[in-house]
Amino acid sequence: MRIWAYSRFGKAQNGKGMGIKMNKILFEKLNNRKDELYCIDHILEERIMTSDLSSESIYVANYLWKKGVRKGDKVAIILNQEYGYHILSLYFANIWIGAISVPISPGYSGEEKEFVLGKCDPKVIITTEDIIDKLSVKYAGVTEFIDIKQLLAGIRKEMPDELVFSMPSLEGDDVLAILFTAGTTGHAKGVCMSVNTLVVNLKKNGERFGYDSKTRMMLMSPLVHASTITHAIILPALFGFSVVLNEIFNLKLCSRFWDIVEKDEVTVVLSVPSMLASILLFKNHFHHNLEHFKYFMCGSAVLLESLQKEFEQTFKVRVNEFYASTETGIIATTLPDETISNRWKPLEGTTVKISDDGEILVSSNYLFKGYVKDEEETQESLFRDANENIWYRTGDVGVIDEQGFLKITDRKKDIIIKGGFNISPKQVDSIIIKHPNVSEVATVGVPSEMYGEEVVAAVQVKQENQNSENELLQYCRDNMNSMICPSKVLILPQLPKTNMGKIDKKKIQSMITCKKEESYGKL
């Protein structure tokens, strides 16, 4: 078993952590740069100074404190992109109080929202009036609802401009956020992320890539995604740099992507492979001066070597990869001068080893604290070795070479990663099987140049010729959110099985790939 520990201490140590009173440090750092730009918000078309963001976060914190929110309480945030930098104020306000932020996608179905809220038991839910109307009946008297529009309209009139409470300390194992990610059981898992996971880990990453006050990072992901907390809250506050917020990535944004990069003097872009593939579609529009630009940071899904090379050669820019998960924070990255793709060095303080069956295992100070209200999943994902070190099973298969570089070769967990988002095949299966003419279903991920992986469902029907593949696809679109919805449904006479009688997903993937080449075209 090959082990690589990139740490001054020789091996990762699990425990309380480094004793950083993180919220007080971040509060001071914001106060020390009040006259500096914090955010260029293309959603609301505003330039936000650090003093503006800091003031609004204090108003919100005082408001939540008045509502009885205290350290350790959960604050659910269900908002879409249109609220821009105001969502950053909510995250900072929770940090000042010591409350736990629980960002939830407004795109979740009603059932998904109820499941997630049932797991985290929020003290308050900050959302919009239409969502309040849908959820208030079930949670009336249990959870307080706060209408974001009323909150933003009234806080400056009603709340003091200085904290009305003594800020509690957040350090080590204290939980900052609960982030929900797809689970192999079909239900989302709430990952409890601590100060160590979100702050100490990110600080090591920022130091490796030389982030400083001159850095300007561009984001194009949902503001209720983990990347907002990591790259629009923690990293800018720690290193004093500014961020550029945009609408959720789409082809319209692609067409003016380089205009934004040039005009706003962006130095770093946070991306996933599907974004790079989309930007390449507009390569004929590229005529920009990028003297200030440094590189792309790309993660969350497999980056094909061919895509990376084409992108770098076309735009004459560098793409740095990082390997991370919600449960671990950033595990490893390409080194700043590395030229080979899918070849990463673990961060300082992180130990990576390969199990006997090839799975990548990770141990560090940065591991998550478990899944909220899910002891079984926690026990399956974390284990303690003979030396009392705690390890996380990543579900990825890989190798470590003689120089200590990590490379992923396969996936062990039954998870599809589409455009950087984890999707549970079981969740998709559970919806399709409810169709009256479907007797069996298997959802798989197939390679896609655009998304890394695409969702495709293979089904066996009860009565032939009763439903077409397009009709079943429309059923999926009507009954699940767009992110997890299959792009194709393939009807098979019978789903292939292994010798043990289990559905053979590898064979289905191969069949779909062959059929795609014959008649579907590229997904």
Q: What is the pLDDT of residues 322-369, one digit of tens each?
A: 988 889 988 888 887 766 666 788 888 899 999 998 899 999 988 998
* Domain assignment of residue 370, given as a range: 1-20+193-412
Cβ-based burial of 385 (10 A; exposed 0-12, middle 13-18, buried ≥19):
exposed
Neighbours of 404 (CB within 10 A): 16
Q: What are phi and psi of 467, to 5 degrees?
A: -135, 140
Q: Tell me, yes or no, whether 3 lies in a domain.
A: yes
Whichever domain contains 464, its CATH number is 3.30.300.30
Pair 301, 405 in one domain: yes
Q: Tell me, yes or no, whether 187 lies in a domain.
A: no
Residue 54 makes CB contacts below 8 A (sequence gap 6+) with: 30, 31, 34, 92
DSSP 344: B
Pair 505, 405 in one domain: no
Pair 152, 249 in one domain: no
Pair 442, 380 in one domain: no
pLDDT for position 108: 84
Whichever domain contains 142, its CATH number is 3.40.50.980
Share of the chain above pLDDT 70, in %: 91
**Average pLDDT score over residue span 88-112:** 93
Q: In sequence order, what DSSP letters do the residues of 306-322 get, joined into one string? A: HHHHHHHHHHT-EEEEE
**Average pLDDT score over residue span 40-63:** 96
Q: Tell me, yes or no, whether 469 lies in a domain.
A: yes
Per-residue confidence band for 184, with pLDDT thresholds at 50, 70 and 90: low
Lowest mean pLDDT across 55-59, 191-195, 337-341? 337-341
Pair 389, 458 in one domain: no
Q: Which two tokens stand for residue 272?
A: 């996933």
Pair 398, 424 in one domain: no
Residue type, 400: I
Higher pLDDT, 413 or 29: 29
pLDDT for position 420: 74
Q: Tell me, yes or no, whether 84 lies in a domain.
A: yes
Q: Tell me, yes or no, whether 242 lies in a domain.
A: yes
Q: Tell me, yes or no, whether 441 lies in a domain.
A: yes
Q: How far apart are CA 74 and CA 56, in angstroms?
A: 20
Total domains in the fold of the chain: 3
Pair 427, 339 in one domain: no
Per-residue confidence band for 19, with pLDDT thresholds at 50, 70 and 90: very low
DSSP 200: I
Q: Tell me, yes or no, whether 421 lies in a domain.
A: yes
Pair 254, 314 in one domain: yes
Q: Tell me, yes or no, whether 185 lies in a domain.
A: no
Neighbours of 510 (CB within 10 A): 14
Closest CA to 458 of 472, 478, 479: 472
Whichever domain contains 281, its CATH number is 3.40.50.12780
Angular region, 229: left φ>0, alpha ψ -120 to 50, beta rest: alpha
Per-residue confidence band for 483, with pLDDT thresholds at 50, 70 and 90: confident
Contact in structure between 242 and 39 (CB atoms under 8 Å): yes
Pair 289, 422 in one domain: no
- For residue range 22-44, list pLDDT tens digits in order: 899 999 999 999 999 999 999 99
Pair 278, 153 in one domain: no
Pair 384, 485 in one domain: no
Contact in structure between 222 and 43 (CB atoms under 8 Å): no
Pair 234, 147 in one domain: no
Among residues 377, 412, 447, which one ends one of the domains?
412
Among residues 113, 139, 170, which one ends one of the domains?
170
pLDDT for position 509: 86
DSSP 265: T
Among residues 412, 440, 456, which one ends one of the domains?
412
Contact in structure between 200 and 171 (CB atoms under 8 Å): no
Q: How far apart are CA 255 and CA 261, in angstroms?
A: 12
To the nearest whole number, what is the mean pLDDT of the chain? 87
